Structure 1
Amino acid sequence: MRNMNSPNGPDLCHCLAVRRAARYASRIYDSHLSAVGISVSQFSILALIDEHPGIVIADLADLMVMERTTLVRALGPLRDEQWLTSVAEGPKAALKFMLSAAGKAKLSEAEPCWRAAQAEFEAGVGPKQATALRAGLLSVVF
C-alpha cells in the first residue's frame, strides 16, 4: 500500500477525495439512522423541508445541489410514507412541499440518531476539523 500522506495519481483528484469522504460520512450516518428506517438522504430532505415549509422542487434541488429529476425520485418514498404534503396553487403552479404530522414525527424520531452520527463523525475526524471541513465544503456550494 502506498503512503497516503503524500498523494499521487488518482489521490490528487479533488473530486475523488470528496466522494470518498462523502461515502465515509454517509456510511456513519446511514448506520445510525437505519435504526429508525431512514437514510441520511431522506433525513436531509425532511430537515430542509421542515426548515423551509412550502419550498418548491426547484429551490429544494438548488439547496441540495441535486438534479431535479433525481430529487423527484427521492421524494417518492417520502410521499409514499406520507411524510410530506404538497399543494399547488393555480393550474401551472409548482408543488410546494411541507412535512406532514407523520413527517415531523419521523424527523423527531430520527434526530437522536443523527446526533449520534454527528458525534461519531466528530470523534473520528476531530471536532475542529469537522467544523472546518463543513465550513469549507459549504463555502464551495453556497
Structure 2
Amino acid sequence: MDTTPSLTGCNLFATKQAARFITQLYERHLAPVNVTSSQVTLLAVIHERPEITMTELSEMVVMDRTSLVRAIQPLSRDGYVVQKSEAGSRKIGLSLSKAGTRKFLDALPHWRAAQKEYEELVGKDRAKFLREELMAVTQR
C-alpha cells in the first residue's frame, strides 16, 4: 500500500499553484509599465502609509526583512522610494517620491485590468470570498 501523500491534498501545493497562476496574470497586465506585481504591492502600501518603517512594511506584507530589503533596492535605485530617518533615530521611514507616485498611478489601470480579468475568471463574489479568507490566514 502506497502511503505517499497526494499533492491534490496538499495545502502548500494548492496555494503555491494558485499564487503562481495569479502572479502570472498580474505580471502580464503590469508588463507595459515595467513594474512587477510585487513592486506594485510595495508601492501601494507605501503610497497608503507614507513614512512606514521597514519593520511595519515587513509585517504588513509578511516578508522577512532581508527579502524586503532586496525588493526595495530596485525601487530606491530607480528613485521611486525614498528613505528618511529622523535625526538621532535608527527608524527609517519609506515614502514614495514624485516619480514613485507617478509610477504607482501609471500602474493602477493595468492593476485594475488584472483585477477585472481575475474576477471574470473566478467570479466576483468568489474572488472576494477567497481574498477575505486568504487575508484572514495572515491576521494575528
SS at 2:46 equivalent: helix
The partner residue of 1:57 within 47, 54, 58 is 54
- The CA RMSD over aligned residues, in Å, is 1.0
Please, what TM-score do these two structures have when normalized by structure 2?
0.93
Work out the number of aligned pairs and report it: 135
Give the structure 1 partner of residue 71 of structure 2: 74
**1:15 Cα deviation from its structure 2 partner:** 1.2
Structure 1: runs of 5+ lacking an equivalent:
1-7
- Quote the Cα distance in structure 2 between the aligned partners of 1:43 and 1:120: 17
SS at 2:14 equivalent: helix
Give the structure 2 partner of residue 13 of structure 1: 10
Please, what TM-score do these two structures have when normalized by structure 1?
0.92
Give the structure 2 partner of residue 39 of structure 1: 36
**1:10 Cα deviation from its structure 2 partner:** 1.1
- Quote the Cα distance in structure 1 between the aligned partners of 2:66 and 2:43: 17
**1:92 Cα deviation from its structure 2 partner:** 4.2
The partner residue of 1:85 within 68, 82, 85 is 82
Identity of aligned residues (%): 37
| Runs of 4+ residues over 4 Å off in structure 1 | none
Look up the equivalent residue of 2:113 and give its one-letter code. A
